A and B are shown apart, each in its own frame.
Chain A
Amino acid sequence: MSVLVLGIGNILWADEGFGVRAIEAFHRLYSMADGVDLLDGGTQGLYLVNHVAEAERLLVFDAIDYGLAPGTLKVVRGDEVPKFTGAKKMSLHQTGFQEVLSAADLMGHYPGDIALIGCQPLDLEDWGGPLTAPVAASIEPAIALAVDILSGWGVPPVRREFSLPPEGGLLANDIDRVAYERPRAAG
């Protein structure tokens, strides 16, 4: 079975980076079962459609404005996922993920099962800023939810005996979360 675990968002806009940072942490803490791919989708929009179309099951991490308390996690599954779209706050990336799903559908390759782990953001406008504290604190619980979902799909991830170091993960060249968020000398 092919499973895609996808994190989407822009790491340069504070909590917008939740999805990508969740994938990064998931990869550092767990090794995936055969047939499970982790993908840092960034803000690739429609360019992700082929990855989605090739997946039999799809798990997505994203920052979602549910209008809940910051950091609140909410899992949405199946047919409910495409409804969580558009933009309450506002969509910078107008070829949003709902369009990606619809495009996969139109191509005749809609994933058999979809789960979306969304985190309520606090700040989406802090250019260059870190994840806010409540969102950062939700990463490990979000991963626990992902472990449950993947286990339910028969592809349980295995906790690594030793976590991968921050710089040895999916995001290199100083954009791993620790390096990105470290304070730098001004001037």
Chain B
Amino acid sequence: MGIETPNGFKLDNAGRRIVVDPVTRIEGHMRVEVNVDADNVIRNAVSTGTMWRGIEVILKGRDPRDAWAFTERICGVCTGTHALTSVRAVENALGINIPENANSIRNIMQLTLQVHDHLVHFYHLHALDWVDVVSALSADPKATSALAQSISDWPLSSPGYFRDLQGRLKKFVESGQLGPFKNGYWGHAAYKLPPEANLMAVAHYLEALDFQKEIVKIHTIYGGKNPHPNWLVGGVPSPINVDGTGAVGAINMERLNLVSSIIDQTIAFTEQVYLPDLKAIGSFYKDWLHGGGLSSTSVMSYGDIPEHANDYSDASLKLPRGVILNGKLDEIHPIDLGNPDEVQEFVTHSWYKYPDETKGLHPWDGVTEPHFELGPNARGTKTNIEALDEAAKYSFIKSPRWKGHAVEVGPLARYVIGYAQGKAEFKEPVDKLLTDLGLPLTALFSTLGRTAARALECQWAARELRYFQDKLVANIKAGDLSTANTDKWTPDTWPKEAKGVGFTEAPRGALGHWIKIKDGKIDNYQAVVPTTWNGSPRDPEGNIGAFEAALLDTPMADPEQPLEILRTLHSFDPCLACSTHVMSEDGQDMATVTVR
């Protein structure tokens, strides 16, 4: 039956139902169901996350100063960004200001995470949606070398280098253990790269894997350890001791210099490997511009990376802040995260219970009471769902809305807003990339556009790393060694009741933590995470979220091999509540795809 959603999408669930469960190569557990028409074009999409629970269950009654350590454990990849959001929420609630050095160090931590996440996402979680690993085996190393040298000055590009790599890859594939490449539809008709481009991309897959160990050293130095770096309400935990040599945890000149050299390498890798690869891959997919979804109509960014400590105004935030609705790019709405009428979460289609489910709740008043039930048209059982009923509750993800609107968040949303604001640092790289590829501006609103925005943002972040590292060093040299403000450390300096909100732009989009503090303890704590915005089920009005919107109207070459679905979902870098792999002997080799 065909319907049109209030946010302008046509849905028709008459055709065959395809179920992909789990969606692989994401962080978290996700399932998607689509209906395709007679031509295998997606006409209805249902996205569901099956495990997330509210963090308030765990945090209620705990010390607000420790909340970051818990939120850091929600997820394996967003560790630092949750921690930063948490300390900002507590500082907002208690009126705590942080020193300039702490602001610079936090920005460096956040930008490092941004770069690391974008690189790993592109090469290790997403590239394989565009790159056919098996095809790389038939590449000519000499031609690969010529290709690599034609697009970049990156030194690792000789015929011998690619020949050795191809040999290693061949041995690996022949051993029958595809490992990281096992979840692939190799040979699928939707792969368009020539073998040489595939081989080059696989080489950079490995180089990126190796390079990430350098990037995370920045977290080790400023966060004291890694994984799970340390954070501090009121500043940053590591003291600065410029002349120190071996003091545990202290930041000295030697360590500052090490960070500086890693930043140089990061800029080089991003500009000489990541961006040229993105452009090369993009040039073969110029006619695959599906997956725009909400990006051309409704996008949101909270903004992040404050230039000045404690100044979270639009002018201070270097990542753009605002909301665009209904495709009106000339109107950027301001955001007030404390306004009860702006950010609200609905559970009409989520497996939770509200007293009145026609209404949304602002996160300060949020509740998370699980209520798992399948709709009347669902098929299967509660433990073995064959098909969901999207007219009823169908996801453990809530539906956050901004003034009732479904919005897309993430790198593309940030770039669309920055572009619409006319900011040169976002507009010019976009224009240049599109011109080089011979594509119109509208091409940005696509799966490929989302992937491109992430690459451009990685370059932006790498350059901002340099900026804030230089700023930090200059401030230290001017004699300011302060990294923490402990004036309001002890609870006896706090009001009896307080509430606050902290926000960041996580690699995958807008992240907010809302906290209520009572008698020195956490009374309520709600996190609204980026994948909740993008992966949300429908709201009471029937508006669909970004994942569902982006899948619509995409033609599939072979519904049994849903490469196009994975490509578009991966372009969002989805991240649901992370747990980890429970290993067992009879593991599954590939996402199960069921056609009903």
A9 nearest CB neighbor, chain B only: B580
- Least CB distance from B157 to A in Å reads 19
Measured between beta carbons, the chain B residues less than 8 angstroms from A67 are 584
Question: Among residues 79 to 102 in chain A, which have CB atoms less than 8 Å away from a CB atom of chain B?
Answer: 82-99, 101-102
Indicate if the CB atoms of B584 and A103 lie closer than 8 Å: no
Indicate if the CB atoms of B73 and A118 lie closer than 8 Å: no
- On whether A11 and B73 interact (CB within 8 A), knowing A50-B210, A127-B57, A175-B66, the answer reads yes
Measured between beta carbons, the chain A residues less than 8 angstroms from B228 are 40, 42
CA distance A12 to B527 in the complex (A): 15
Check: A157 CB closer than 8 A to any chain B CB.
no
A-B pairs, 9 with minimum CB distance: A86-B587, A102-B179, A96-B581, A43-B76, A173-B69, A88-B584, A50-B213, A184-B61, A92-B579
Indicate if the CB atoms of B583 and A65 lie closer than 8 Å: yes
Check: B430 CB closer than 8 A to any chain A CB.
no
Indicate if the CB atoms of B70 and A127 lie closer than 8 Å: no
Contact with B579, one of A10, A50, A82, A184 (Cβ below 8 angstroms)? A10
Contact with B227, one of A41, A84, A187 (Cβ below 8 angstroms)? A41
Interface size of A by CB at 8 A reads 67
Contact with A92, one of B25, B51, B68 (Cβ below 8 angstroms)? B51
Q: Which of A104-112, A133-141, A148-156 contacts B (4 or more CB under 8 A)?
A: A104-112
Per-residue CB proximity of B150-172 to A under 8 Å, as 1/0?
Answer: 00000000000000000011001
Q: Which of B26-34, B104-112, B410-418, B546-554 contacts A (4 or more CB under 8 A)?
A: B26-34
Q: Provide a sorted-by-A list of 22 A–B residue pairs whose CB atoms are within 8 angstroms.
A: A10-B578, A11-B73, A16-B582, A43-B579, A47-B76, A47-B77, A62-B581, A62-B582, A65-B584, A91-B587, A92-B28, A93-B578, A93-B581, A95-B25, A103-B209, A106-B168, A108-B168, A118-B583, A124-B579, A127-B57, A173-B69, A184-B60
CA distance A85 to B588 in the complex (A): 8
Interface size classification for chain B: 35 or more
CA distance A187 to B516 in the complex (A): 12
- Least CB distance from B61 to A in Å reads 4
B518 nearest CB neighbor, chain A only: A187
Check: A66 CB closer than 8 A to any chain B CB.
yes
What's the dominant secondary structure at chain A's contact region?
loop
Indicate if the CB atoms of A65 and B582 lie closer than 8 Å: yes
Indicate if the CB atoms of B586 and A95 lie closer than 8 Å: no
- On whether A46 and B124 interact (CB within 8 A), knowing A87-B581, A108-B168, the answer reads yes
Check: A1 CB closer than 8 A to any chain B CB.
no
- On whether A98 and B227 interact (CB within 8 A), knowing A82-B177, A174-B63, the answer reads no
- On whether A10 and B227 interact (CB within 8 A), knowing A86-B589, A108-B168, A172-B69, the answer reads no
Indicate if the CB atoms of A87 and B69 lie closer than 8 Å: no
Per-residue CB proximity of B114-138 to A under 8 Å, as 1/0?
Answer: 0010001000110000000000000
Indicate if the CB atoms of A16 and B27 lie closer than 8 Å: no
CA distance A110 to B180 in the complex (A): 14
Check: A13 CB closer than 8 A to any chain B CB.
yes
Indicate if the CB atoms of B227 and A86 lie closer than 8 Å: no
Indicate if the CB atoms of B62 and A62 lie closer than 8 Å: no
Measured between beta carbons, the chain B residues less than 8 angstroms from A48 are 227
Per-residue CB proximity of A25-53 to B under 8 Å, as 1/0?
Answer: 00000000000000111111111111000
Check: A128 CB closer than 8 A to any chain B CB.
yes
CA distance A108 to B210 in the complex (A): 11
Question: Among residues 42 to 86 in chain B, which have CB atoms less than 8 Å away from a CB atom of chain A?
Answer: 51, 53, 57-58, 60-63, 65-66, 68-70, 73-77, 79
Check: B22 CB closer than 8 A to any chain A CB.
yes
CA distance A39 to B578 in the complex (A): 19
Measured between beta carbons, the chain A residues less than 8 angstroms from B577 are 92
Check: B212 CB closer than 8 A to any chain A CB.
yes
- Least CB distance from A61 to B in Å reads 12
B75 nearest CB neighbor, chain A only: A43
- On whether A127 and B69 interact (CB within 8 A), knowing A91-B29, A93-B578, the answer reads no
